[in-house]
Amino acid sequence: QVQLVESGGDLVQAGGSLRLSCLASGSIFSINAMGWYRQAPGKQRELVATITSGGSTVYEDSVKGRFTISRGGAENTVYLQMNSLKREDTAVYYCHAKILPISGSAYRDYWGQGTQVTVSS
């Protein structure tokens, strides 16, 4: 099995910072990319940021300059450093990864269960 587990969500005041973490574990051969998505109340899930195994990053426009995505080492981790948080950042944040499982023949999409980020006014 492959699992993604997020952590770091919290209640924070506007202007504050949080760091989200995601660990991919299980029968993993390789990871092509990892990223973060979020779903705010009354809105559809949207891409926040992604990072490839080569280090290329993509950010949603509203988080550019405020959020930074990075990957860890051998433990298959991805982080999202969130600074200057705004009330509109309030959402459930989901970790995503494209993973080639051991004994698999193709990359598959995996999702974490989500972690709640709430930004107060």
**What distance in Å separates the CA atoms of residue 33 and residue 100, rounded to the nearest whole number?**
10
- Residue 74: predicted pLDDT: 64
- pLDDT above 70 coverage of the chain, percent: 98
> Which has more pLDDT, 121 or 5?
5
Mean pLDDT, the chain, integer:
95
Banded pLDDT at 53 (limits 50, 70, 90)? confident
- Residue 111: predicted pLDDT: 97
The number of C-alpha atoms within 13 Å of 65 and in the hemisphere containing its C-beta is: 3
Whose tokens are 């290329």? That residue is: 56
- Residue 3: predicted pLDDT: 95
- Residue 44: predicted pLDDT: 96
> Which has more pLDDT, 75 or 48?
48
- Residue 72: predicted pLDDT: 87
